[in-house]
Amino acid sequence: MNRSRKPVIAVDGPAASGKGTIARALARQYGIPHLDTGALYRAVALAAAQDGVALDNRERLAALAQALDLSLLEHPDLRSAATGQAASLVSAIPEVRAALLAFQRDFASRPGGAVLDGRDIGTVIIPAADAKLYVVAAPEIRACRRFQELQAAGHAVTKEGILADIRIRDARDSSRTDAPLRQAKDADLLDTSACSINDAIQKAVELVSRRLERTV
């Protein structure tokens, strides 16, 4: 890889697989900005809730995405279970995805490099990324992680409810016709099921470093 240029890295995977934690660590490792693209869909869902927009109103939802209030990315309800469930529905709407596409690609094309995490980063948003990871973990492990995260934030949730939601979201994300969740052919697979946070980050850095060494 040309060392004078900062890398562009795509990190994909299902909910609570660890992709966000890994993406943030890679951003620190390479000194590049990070974008959690899932937060954009959460912000659209939150805007819809605040404005009373139904989650099947494609036109209104696309308009909210087009004029997205980025201050919502700091809203305390952004990471709630309810917002996550709504975001999964919103993200399946092609008009919403199209409205956010330019924002994500513009972020990735900045001269200082970038790491983006989401569901379709390596397949749709930046298919020419210098390195790609597809991060997975068993549904039960992911449910436990999300339960601990939400419980620590003060949300009233159950492991059983979160596991059911994760299974539904996995099915919806993988079966949607527009930009489904799937591993890019040139993405390295990283299963974090049996990994500590530090181990997962170390493995991710190793995989990306090897990939960047092969990038011309």
How many whole angstroms separate alpha carbon 43 and alpha carbon 99? 13
pTM confidence score = 0.91
Structural domain includes residue 93: yes
Two structure tokens written together for 38: 């899932």
pLDDT digit string (tens) for 147-203? 998 899 888 899 999 999 999 999 989 998 888 999 999 999 999 999 999 999 999
User: How many structural domains are present in the chain?
Assistant: 1
How many whole angstroms separate alpha carbon 98 and alpha carbon 179? 10
Structural domain includes residue 215: no
Structural domain includes residue 111: yes
The CATH number of the domain holding residue 199 is 3.40.50.300
Give the CB-side neighbour count of residue 193, counting CA atoms within 13 A: 7
Domain that holds residue 142: 10-206
Structural domain includes residue 114: yes
Share of the chain above pLDDT 70, in %: 97
